[in-house]
């Protein structure tokens, strides 16, 4: 279709949103041949058959209509059961909204809880959507650095120093994207105490909760700060369901009541037969067996990539204990920025990695490597990188 040449008047706030540097790099790579991508944060596994079959049955059984805005009651009950079984946390199904992935859950939190010019504290580096969500909410953005010497944990003292009279919310994401760090129990408790003392909301985004290594454990923030926490979670990583767009948020009753007002007008409800499949994902042991197999494979890939990177010139990996990413430091003597280094690797090794600055200024000097791809591809990518870097 051809459109008339005219000036379109768009809302000014849309200009506040920046296009993801991750997507820009992917688009450049698509124009090249024989490229291996270690960029995308998406499981390369298929959704377990037991979940797919449940969705098919649900369609045949007539689950093709609207559901309650908050989600099918049985599904919300299954989510509550999951937290009781796994974490010994009592949650009312009425305090749960089924969302279109964790993306919608975070969006709802920002829009419901922040007034214009309220401050939100976002760690640096951090997953890209948080800053953009804050911009859409017209909130003030305060960044606190995650430091290598502190294993990329949030420093409670630095958190307190960053709090202003206008600070309303802290965003945390552990196991962490992009660093792979896992929050220690004492730090979780310290953050919970600070949130209580300063009357802060905590938006805790936890989609990588099941991907842990070397004996690391996940401590859900909602267990330690139930009155302050808005939890966002997703089935995307746990059950390799990225395209299904299935997640949920849990929050205090009054917050949920207000979040559901917005949710009702944003999407109405998550697709009915997908919610039914979600019940199977949580209650059928075959789903969890599939997760165990995925987790074992990720652990093997992690060992493989760490082995290669530890022998590679000009790059030093942080040893992650969670998620499926490696956060690697670039040799400063190369004199390259993170973006320059990522571009150089793409052009000279045919390998896509993500520049650390895609996640914030504190990511300068770092790159993110995803090992959510087959071992053969990972091995070849490591060999290509080693060969290219050895020539510098």
- At residue 388's C-alpha, the angle toward residues 384 and 389, to 5°, is 115
The torsion angles phi and psi of 135, rounded to 5 degrees, stand at: -65, -45
* pLDDT the model gives residue 358: 95
- Secondary structure (DSSP) of 353-364: -EEGGGG-GGGT
* pLDDT the model gives residue 1: 66
Please check whether residue 206 is in contact with residue 233, taking contact to mean a CB–CB distance below 8 angstroms: yes
d(CA 236, CA 186): 28
* pLDDT the model gives residue 202: 99
d(CA 326, CA 82): 29
Distance of alpha carbon 175 from its chain centroid, rounded? 9
Which DSSP symbol is given to 242? Answer: G
Other Cβ atoms closer than 10 A to 232: 26
Other Cβ atoms closer than 10 A to 116: 8
d(CA 360, CA 208): 20
Query: pLDDT 10s digit of each residue in the chain, 392 long?
Result: 677 777 777 888 888 888 777 777 788 888 888 999 999 889 999 999 999 999 999 999 999 999 999 999 999 999 999 999 999 999 999 999 999 999 999 999 999 999 998 999 999 999 999 999 999 999 999 999 999 999 999 999 999 999 999 999 999 999 999 999 999 999 999 999 999 999 999 999 999 999 999 999 999 999 999 999 999 999 999 999 999 999 999 999 999 999 999 999 999 999 999 999 999 999 999 999 999 999 999 999 999 999 999 999 999 999 999 999 999 999 999 999 999 999 999 999 999 999 999 999 999 999 999 999 999 999 999 999 999 999 99
Please count the helices (runs of H) and the strands (runs of E) in the chain.
13, 13
- Three-state SS for the chain is CCCCCCCCCCCHHHHHCCCCHHHHHHHHHHCCCCCEECCCCCCCCCCCHHHHHHHHHHHHCCCCCCCCCCCCHHHHHHHHHHHHHHHCCCCCHHHEEEECHHHHHHHHHHHHHCCCCCEEEEEECCCCHHHHHHHHCCCEEEEEECCHHHCCCCCHHHHHHHCCCCEEEEEECCCCCCCCCCCCHHHHHHHHHHHHHHCCEEEEECCCCCCECCCCCCCCHHHHCCCCEEEEEECCCCCCCHHHCCEEEECCHHHHHHHHHHHHHHCCCCCHHHHHHHHHHHHCHHHHHHHHHHHHHHHHHHHHHHHHHHHCCCEEECCCCECCEEEEEECHHHCCCHHHHHHHHHHHHCEECEEHHHHCHHHCCEEEEECCCCHHHHHHHHHHHHHHHHCC
pTM, two decimal places: 0.95
Task: State the helix-helix crossing angle for 375-390 and 285-311, rounded to 10 degrees.
Answer: 20
* pLDDT the model gives residue 19: 77
Please check whether residue 178 is in contact with residue 204, taking contact to mean a CB–CB distance below 8 angstroms: no
Domain architecture of the chain: domains with CATH: 12-46+288-390 (3.90.1150.10), 49-284 (3.40.640.10)
């Amino acid at each position: 279709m051809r459109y008339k040449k005219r000036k379109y008047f768009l809302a000014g706030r849309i200009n506040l949103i920046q296009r993801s540097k991750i997507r820009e790099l992917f688009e450049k790579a698509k124009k090249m041949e024989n490229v291996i991508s270690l960029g995308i944060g998406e499981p390369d596994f298929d959704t377990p058959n037991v979940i797919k079959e449940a969705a098919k049955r649900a369609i045949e059984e007539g689950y093709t209509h609207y559901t309650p805005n908050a989600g099918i009651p049985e599904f919300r009950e299954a989510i509550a059961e999951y937290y009781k079984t796994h974490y010994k946390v009592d949650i009312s199904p009425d305090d749960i909204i089924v969302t279109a992935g964790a993306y919608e859950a975070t969006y709802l939190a920002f829009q419901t809880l922040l007034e214009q010019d309220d401050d939100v504290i976002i760690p640096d580096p951090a997953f890209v959507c948080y800053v953009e969500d804050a911009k859409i909410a017209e909130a003030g953005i305060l960044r606190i650095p995650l430091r290598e010497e502190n294993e990329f944990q949030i420093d409670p003292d630095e958190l307190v120093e960053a709090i202003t009279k206008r600070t309303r919310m802290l965003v945390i994401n552990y196991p962490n994207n992009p660093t792979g760090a896992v929050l220690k129990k004492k730090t979780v408790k310290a953050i919970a105490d600070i949130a209580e003392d300063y009357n802060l909301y905590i938006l805790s985004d936890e989609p990588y909760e099941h991907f842990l290594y070397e004996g690391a454990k996940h401590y859900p923030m909602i267990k330690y700060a139930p009155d302050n926490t808005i939890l966002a979670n997703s089935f995307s990583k746990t059950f390799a369901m990225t395209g299904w767009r299935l997640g949920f948020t849990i929050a205090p009753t009054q917050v949920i009541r207000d979040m559901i007002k917005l949710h009702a007008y944003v999407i109405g409800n998550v697709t009915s037969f997908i919610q039914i499949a979600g019940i199977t994902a949580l209650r059928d042991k075959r789903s969890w067996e599939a997760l165990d197999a995925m987790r074992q494979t990720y652990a093997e890939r992690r060992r493989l990539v760490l082995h290669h990177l530890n022998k590679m010139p000009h790059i030093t990996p942080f040893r992650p204990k969670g998620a499926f990413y490696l956060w690697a430091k670039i040799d400063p003597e190369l004199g390259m920025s993170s973006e320059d280094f990522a571009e150089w690797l793409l052009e000279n090794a045919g390998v896509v990695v993500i520049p650390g600055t895609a996640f914030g200024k504190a990511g300068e000097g770092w790159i993110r490597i995803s090992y959510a791809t087959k071992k053969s591809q990972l091995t070849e990518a490591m060999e290509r990188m080693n060969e290219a870097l050895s020539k510098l």
